Amino acid sequence: MLFHLDARSGMPTYMQLVNQVRRATRNGTLRAGDRLPTAREVVAALTINPNTVLKAYTQLESEGLVISRPGLGTFIAQGIPAPLAPALQRQLRRALDAWIRNAVSAGLDREGMLALINLAIDENKKAAHVA
Amino acid sequence: MNVALNACGLGKRYGNSWALRDCSLRVPAGRITGLVGPNGAGKTTLLRMAVGLLGATSGEISVFGWSPTEDPALVLARVGFVPQERPLYSGFTVGEILQLGRHLNPRWDQAGAAARLKRLDIGLNRKVAHLSGGQHAQVSLALALGKRPDLLLLDEPLSNLDPLARREFMKALVEVVAAEGLSVILSSHVVAELERVCDHLVILNGGRVQVVGDIDELVATHKLQIAPRQDSDVIDSDATVIQATHTDGQSAMLVKVGSRAVRPDWEVHDVSLEEMVLAYLGNPAAADLPAPVMQKAG
């Protein structure tokens, strides 16, 4: 696992690390049982604050994505959701393509579409919490 | 919270002018704290008071609970200090500098200091006068770390270093923090280079403390709002305007948001640490301090 940082993203460094691990498990780069680099390795590679790495790993652990084995390291947990099956991914993508064509003909630009998608995600999340 | 450095109502006056005034802050242990502010803000004064090189005119300062002037032996054994000018005897070799360190410090780690310099390819037989700026800084750091400090104070450690030497210095610093877990306070007037390395921040401006806090939290609670032109700087009882810029039709305001969300009908942008710091430095009357300090000031 190689981490990288985008200085212009505006996202806190620890969140960038968290997102990269999430993405890597989703696309299958990291699988259950894989070891994440130690905090010291990440610190040396990126020249970042050690607490930032610990914060990211703690967050991942609280989400159940990784488990920490004292003295051994931090590992991707068993039972994480399997990467999205290609067939399912194609199906979701086709639905999204159709949605984008509708949005474009309705006059929405990229920003407008992203705003709408973010809003929908937020509201769905809220509804799920209430339920 | 374990506290590395604590200041309460601390002040230092030279003649009629205060280099530092009403300074109350706590720096947590185990963190890398950035001390930022323009030249003359009082950064060096604060660091020199932390090691007892200067006495306080008013108030108190303590390091791990001990006063640097009343119990210097207890403080100095645990603190490493690299002043801005990074003084090393130029006629000495690097090896002789380490030997000096060994004779002056009871907890001296000769093997660690020698290994550190070997990794950086700095030979012990090199004359200090012949070192590059980056190597000079690394030898100063190795000397300060050789005494195995619990708290390391670095005054403008990156000044006069080229970008590569800055990067290597910071890398050496974060690696030792990851390995040993010591606390670091480093001052700088350049914010951008601290953003990744520090996780705690103190802003000093004109001798006063303006901001103390966790960097992720500070960045998360400050936003830039773009709104139709506002004639008042009070936009919401729950948000404080740090800096406002007005054009004909619009106002851009950097605000500290409270517990409630900022006005959702206005455009809201995240800000970088640097933008946030510059907004505070541009408005010396604004402050963001932990509650106990506020009560004391009131």
B177, B196, B270, best to mutate vs chain A, most A CBs in 10 Å: B196
3-state secondary structure chain B: CCEEEEEEEEEEEECCEEEEEEEEEEEECCCEEEEECCCCCCHHHHHHHHCCCCCCCEEEEEECCECCCCCHHHHHCCEEEECCCCCCCCCCEHHHHHHHHHHHCCCCCHHHHHHHHHHCCCCCCCEHHHCCHHHHHHHHHHHHHHCCCCEEEECCCCCCCCHHHHHHHHHHHHHHHHHHCCEEEEEECCCHHHCCCCCEEEEEECCEEEEEEEHHHHHHHEEEEEEECCCCCCCECCEEEEEEEECCCEEEEEEEECCCCCCCCCEEEECCHHHHHHHHHHCCCCCECCHHHHHHHC
A54 and A20 in one domain? yes
Q: What pTM, to 2 d.p., does this model score?
A: 0.85
Q: Using the predicted structure, report yes or no on whether residue B293 has a pLDDT greater than 70.
A: no
Decide the pairing of beta strands B208-214 and A73-76.
Answer: unpaired
Do A67 and A95 fall within a single domain? Answer: no
Please classify residue A75 by burial: count the beta carbons closer than 10 Å to its beta carbon, then call 0-12 exposed, 13-18 middle and 19+ buried: middle
Examine residue A4 and state whether it is found in any structural domain, yes or no.
Answer: no
Residue A81 domain flag: no
With contacts defined as CB-CB under 8 Å, which chain B residues touch A123? none
Cβ burial of A37 (10 Å; 0-12, 13-18, 19+) is: middle
CB pairs under 8 A between A and B: 50
Phi, psi of A101 (to 5 degrees): -60, -40
Which tokens hold the place of B207?
């001798």
B192/A7 Cα distance (integer angstroms): 10
List CB contacts of B193: < 8 A, sequence separation 6 or more. Answer: B158, B166, B170
Give me the mean pLDDT over the A6-19 stretch: 87
Q: What is the pLDDT of residue B234?
A: 58
Q: How many domains does chain A have?
A: 2
Q: Which residues pair with B267 in a beta bridge?
A: B226
pLDDT band at B238 (very low <50, low <70, confident <90, very high): low
B171, B179, B220 ranked by CB distance to A47: nearest: B171
User: Residue A29's domain is classified under what CATH number?
Assistant: 1.10.10.10
- Let me know: does B171 contact A49? Beta carbons within 8 Å: no
Question: Residue type for B286, please?
Answer: A
Residue B108 burial (CB count, 10 A): 19
**Are the beta carbons of B197 and A47 separated by less than 8 Å?**
yes
Residue in chain A closest to B168 (alpha carbons) equals A47
pLDDT (0 to 100) of residue A29: 87
Residue in A closest to B215 by C-alpha: A12
| B233, pLDDT greater than 70 | no
Disruptive mutation site among A16, A17, A48, A57 for chain B (greatest number of B CBs within 10 Å): A48
Give the A window 55-94 contacts with B, CB below 8 Å.
55
Confidence grade of residue B176 (pLDDT, cut at 50, 70, 90) = very high
A47 in the same domain as A98: no
Domain at B3-206, CATH class: alpha beta
Q: What is the pLDDT of residue B298?
A: 34
Q: Are B2 and B167 in contact (CB under 8 A)?
A: no
Reported ipTM: the value is 0.80
State the average pLDDT over residues B85-111: 93
pLDDT at residue number B260? 59
In chain B, what percentage of residues exceed pLDDT 70? 92
User: Sorting pLDDT into bands at 50, 70 and 90, what band is A37?
Assistant: very high
Specify whether A51 is located in the same domain as A29.
yes
CB B55, CB B67: distance < 8 Å: no
Choose among B148, B137, B213: nearest CA to B182: B148
Q: Do A10 and B272 touch (CB under 8 A)?
A: yes
* Residue A1 domain-assigned (yes or no): no
A126 and A107 part of one domain: yes
Report whether B82 contacts B156 (CB < 8 A): no
pLDDT, chain B, mean: 90
Three-state secondary-structure class, residue A74: strand
Task: Flag if B196 and A49 touch (Cβ within 8 Å).
Answer: yes
For A71-128, the pLDDT digits (tens) are 899 999 998 877 778 888 899 999 999 999 999 999 999 999 998 998 898 888 877 7
Q: Are strands B250-257 and B222-228 parallel, antiparallel or unpaired?
A: antiparallel
* Residues A59 and A21 placed together within one structural domain of the fold: yes
Q: Do A12 and B219 touch (CB under 8 A)?
A: yes
Q: List every span in chain B annotated with CATH 3.40.50.300.
A: 3-206
What pLDDT sits at residue A86? 82
Tell whether A70 and A96 lie within a shared domain.
no
Token match 């690299």: residue?
Answer: B82
Res A100: pLDDT: 96
Mean pLDDT of the B154-173 span = 92
Identify the domain containing residue A125 by its residue range: 86-130
